[in-house]
A = this chain, B = another copy of it.
């Protein structure tokens, strides 16, 4: 939330400077249709396709520690965050560039491992790594991915399309990444196989490109990827769409191993899903018929799509407590290691 407010205020400044200063050397200006404030920016220079662009940075000590991610995972996960933003728009990632700031004494093997993680994920989605920048730093490693994508013109899934009566859905299962992080930082004990599942969900989340494209083709009304936790993402949709989202917490799908860890830790398992972040699944809304069509297509390709609530008039995100009272689901974000 704080990040969003800062960016919104800075973006207002940029818009002002764009408006007040006439371009002196511009020969061709693309139309930015959707700027800061959605998962990716949408712009157009071509009559049939909208272009998407998104950028994500990860910082050593803030977003990862040696015990939570290998260097391979660092490269993989930074690119995954950007590809996931393209997924949330229903797009296809096409080209990526990577920028790395690394200490001079970082072993070449660490750099190679990061690039292997990047290359493996990029290849999986047919996204080409077109270039990069590599600079020295006296501080922690900072890795930045920028991914370019495309969608058929006018069809990008935004956060702002949710309408009363729509179904609220999520793809996959949520909370695995947060549970995996808890295990990796020394919290809790689980059998090895369950531990491996949760750590894998934290270290190598899979962006939901196919799900996003199905949702777009079936006419979903809004979509967001789950980078900061379901509570935060749903609040963004509610705010952008001017509606209220009602979540039925008991319907949120979670990996069984995360539920086991919560029991061991004497925590409420659903907190991993609501406030954990970095699952890189999708959440969004669709009218009932569009949802049914998407559900059928997702089932046919092995993607789990689950209705977890509905869209109402009002604002914010609410959930019904066991006693029947409504409680507000605050947009608490993911607080890395800070």
Report which A residues bind B (CB closer than 8 A). 3, 6-7, 9-11, 13-14, 16-18, 20-30, 32, 35-36, 40-41, 43, 45-46, 49, 51, 53-59, 61-63, 92, 94-95, 97-101, 104, 108, 111-112, 115-116, 118-120, 122-140, 142, 144, 146, 148, 150, 209-210, 213, 336, 338
Contacts and interface: CB of A to CB of B under 8 A. Distances in A.
B126 A95 contact: no
29 contacts: A10-B115, A14-B115, A14-B119, A17-B120, A21-B124, A25-B124, A25-B126, A29-B126, A32-B128, A32-B130, A35-B129, A41-B131, A45-B46, A45-B150, A51-B95, A53-B131, A55-B97, A55-B132, A55-B144, A57-B100, A57-B133, A57-B144, A58-B135, A59-B142, A61-B137, A62-B136, A137-B139, A138-B140, A144-B144
A212 to B, nearest CB: 10
A161 B82 CA distance: 35
B6 A41 contact: no
Contacts of A43: 94-95, 128, 130
Which secondary structure dominates chain A's binding surface?
mixed
Contacts of A94: 28-30, 43, 45
Contact of A25 (B27, B49, B209): B209
Contacts of A338: 104, 136
A124 B13 contact: no
Contacts of A13: 112, 115-116, 119
A22 B137 CA distance: 35
A43 B167 CA distance: 39
A293 to B, nearest CB: 19
Given A41-B95, A53-B97, 16 more contacts: A7-B132, A10-B115, A11-B129, A17-B123, A18-B119, A25-B126, A41-B131, A53-B95, A55-B131, A55-B133, A57-B101, A57-B144, A59-B101, A62-B136, A99-B144, A138-B139
B148 A53 contact: yes
A122 B29 CA distance: 11
A135 B62 contact: yes
A22 B58 CA distance: 27
B138 A41 contact: no
A142 B143 CA distance: 10
